[in-house]
Amino acid sequence: MPIYEYECKACGHDMEALQKISDAPLTECPACGKAELQKKISAAGFRLKGGGWYETDFKKGDKKNIAAKDSGKPTPKSDKK
């Protein structure tokens, strides 16, 4: 279930709510009780990594293997002596 962020336009109270996608947005502020709560737009809290359709099909050039670059592991060298 996604976590949504809300802000009360009356008192400025910020909060997060764990809700199903099909749930109706919250409207009543728990701090002041007014129906001024509005859903905020925020970035997702996850990033898709690894192989698969996202990693390989929608990227071009040297950006295709971002997961290997971010893992902190050195990439193997082909010409060891």
10: left (phi > 0), else alpha (psi -120 to 50), else beta?
alpha
What does the alpha-carbon distance between residue 80 and residue 30 come to, in Å, rounded to a whole number? 63
For the whole prediction, is pTM greater than 0.75? no
Query: What does the pLDDT look like over 14-71, one tens digit per residue?
Result: 999 999 989 999 999 999 999 999 999 877 666 666 666 655 566 666 665 555 555 5
Q: What own/partner pairs with CB < 8 Å and gap ≥ 24 does 42-47 have?
A: 42/5, 45/3
What's the CATH code, domain 1-61?
A: 2.20.28.10
- Residue ranges per structural domain of the chain: 1-61
| pLDDT recorded at residue 75 | 53
